Structure 1
Amino acid sequence: MPAIPTRTRLTRRLRSACGEGVADDFRCVQAGGDFFGVSWPIAHAAFVAHVEESLAAPPPVSVLGIDEICRGKRRWAQEAATGRWVLVADRWLTGIVDAAGTAGLLAHVEGRTAASVAAWLTEQPQGWREQVTHVADRFHLVRLANDMLTQVRQRATRQLRGRRGRARDPEWANRRRLLTGHERLRPEAFARMWNGLLDADEVGVEILHAYTVKERLRHLLDLAPAPGTSVPDRAVISHRLWRFFDQAASCDIPEVHRLAETVETWWPAIEAGLITGYSNARSEGYNRLGKHEGRNAFGFRNTRNQQRRIRWGLHPPTPAETAIICHEMPG
């Protein structure tokens, strides 16, 4: 019969319902199999058949967002000859998303190298690649600046005090305020932090200089236009960039110099982000949602299953599905 394929005991309707249930209603494949009274391999095969066609080819996009996500713990092994521990498996996936549209997560590529991303792009049709105008992978500069400030604080405390920071030290008491943007601090909180660090002599002066460099960089990055706003003037970008480099060059703090060298190395990409306004924020959001999918499935052992499950969990509804949802909603 058409409803029952040859040499099978399950109807097509049951397989279809099982695949749809695993894809949309159940936390894991085993839960769907238990509900429909089938084994895990049958439920998983039904799920694959249900989602494979929708995930086969990525939709047209113009801006790609790229960011990596860790899919598990690293694995180490001890060499028998030397006794040294070596890295056996570094489990990373690189997510490629539609950074400017609604296509969602397009692919998960094994590894986190440029070669793996380039290989995936090469596999796509030529017409699809020609529609891509930008690739957004903005360096995490604000976090890097905050890390620089933390390193300066810790090093200055160890060198000048000969110990780790303690609760009575001004730099330790203000460690969270130092990482907070200036505009987010109340005037009295900022004055308390600034005056307290000035009273800490050499430790406070060095930390405040690094704090000023960090704020200069944030002031530069604030020029990135929001959607629908005008592009910042290049003269303003050049002026704020000069103020950042001038502040960084007026000290002999090695951590500050490394930050300035990083900005200089990545400046073409940073400038493109300031002019176009494209960022990697959507990629970061999809990474968080992908981790939720992994927790809901109680973990993955197979990389291919993980990629498929997360992609479907972050896959936007098709126009037909959207029409059905709108039709079922009251009013």
Structure 2
Amino acid sequence: MDLTPLVDGVGSARLLDMVPGRSADAFGDWLDARGGTFRHRIRVVTMDGFTGYAKAATQHLTQARQVMDPFHVVHLAIDKLTACRQRVQNETMGHRGRSGDPLYGIRRILLTRKSLVTPANAVKLDDVLTSQAHLAVQVTWHFYQEILAAYQADRPRDGKLRMFKVIKALHVKIPNDLRELRVLGQTLWRRRADILAYFDTGASNGPVENINGKLEHLRGIALGFRNKANYILRSLIHSGGLREAINAL
């Protein structure tokens, strides 16, 4: 994906190419095939949490700034918060979440940004999380909210500082009762440079996800593709900025 038109304010993001595979080798080989001039012009690379892309970018785009997309950072925290809730649910109730179970009843409220929680739901949330049996969920929820708050900061500098404090706080010996938080902390520390780079660049994977949505729609209206070459060509026409060029002929 090329975000240059979007950054320059002259157009939208565009699809550059499609290759089979999701690996460091697939991405690295594609970059090698583009040539040195192309690679040296790349300044920022946005990506999800897949380490293969980060590895390829490190090897082939040494001058580029790597940015881990905020959506995927938040999603990492959501996954760990949900896993923690499910584990504590099983430990305290002896079964998966059911209607009427305290933790199951707040499963959606837990994922809501604190400032958007209604007063009634805030009381419900507080009643459940203040239970000693649910302490692990409360602590994990706190750090999840801190991550959200960092991305919602008015100034990038403030957000970066807040995120750094979260990452640093989780880079300590976390007790076994907070095992999900420990794994999250390890991931955030390992990718800290990429995560914090967002606050300096403002670059995200949002436009990429938009193009992915367009390609999903394309496959749907086409009822699938049996010919890979046709699929790639149609995708480039649909999302690669070629439609305007073709219409201009």
Q: Of the candidates 80, 105, 116, which is equivalent to residue 173 of structure 1?
A: 105
Query: After superposition, what is the alpha-carbon deviation per residue over 1:58-93, rounded to whole angstroms, capped at 9, x for unaligned?
Result: xxxxxxxxxxxxxxxxxxxxxxxxxxxxxxxxxxxx
Structure 1: distance between partners of 2:173 and 2:121: 27
Describe the shift of the 1:251–1:119 C-alpha distance in structure 2 as closer, same or farther (beyond 3 A). Answer: closer
Q: 2:237: which partner in 1?
A: 312
Describe the shift of the 1:99–1:111 C-alpha distance in structure 2 as closer, same or farther (beyond 3 A). Answer: farther
Larger-Rg structure: 1
In structure 2, stretches of 5+ residues that fail to align are 7-11, 48-67
The question of whether the paired residues in 2 share the 8 Å contact of 1:99 and 1:283 is answered with no
The question of whether the paired residues in 1 share the 8 Å contact of 2:86 and 2:97 is answered with yes
- 1 or 2 for the larger relative contact order (CA 8 Å, sep ≥6)? 2
Structure that is richer in helix per residue = 2
Q: 1:281: which partner in 2?
A: 206
Describe the shift of the 1:262–1:281 C-alpha distance in structure 2 as closer, same or farther (beyond 3 A). Answer: same
Q: Of the candidates 206, 216, 223, which is equivalent to residue 291 of structure 1?
A: 216
In structure 1, stretches of 5+ residues that fail to align are 1-95, 325-331
Q: Percent identity?
A: 25
- Report the TM-score, using the length of structure 1 for normalisation: 0.60
Structure 2: distance between partners of 1:103 and 1:155: 41
Q: Of the candidates 140, 144, 151, which is equivalent to residue 214 of structure 1?
A: 144
- Report the TM-score, using the length of structure 2 for normalisation: 0.78
Structure 2: distance between partners of 1:263 and 1:270: 8
Q: 2:34: which partner in 1?
A: 124
Structure 1: distance between partners of 2:167 and 2:119: 23
Describe the shift of the 1:249–1:180 C-alpha distance in structure 2 as closer, same or farther (beyond 3 A). Answer: farther
Q: Of the candidates 109, 118, 143, which is equivalent to residue 186 of structure 1?
A: 118
RMSD of aligned residue pairs (Cα, Å): 2.6
Q: 1:246: which partner in 2?
A: 169
Structure 1: distance between partners of 2:45 and 2:163: 25
1:98 has 2:3 as partner: yes
The question of whether the paired residues in 2 share the 8 Å contact of 1:99 and 1:279 is answered with no
Q: 1:134: which partner in 2?
A: 44
Structure 1: distance between partners of 2:182 and 2:222: 45
The question of whether the paired residues in 2 share the 8 Å contact of 1:98 and 1:106 is answered with no
Deviation at 1:222, TM superposition (A): 3.1
- What is the identity, as a one-letter code, of the residue corresponding to 1:197? L
Q: 2:84: which partner in 1?
A: 152
Describe the shift of the 1:197–1:167 C-alpha distance in structure 2 as closer, same or farther (beyond 3 A). Answer: farther
Deviation at 1:247, TM superposition (A): 6.4
Structure 2: distance between partners of 1:131 and 1:248: 35
The question of whether the paired residues in 2 share the 8 Å contact of 1:149 and 1:210 is answered with yes
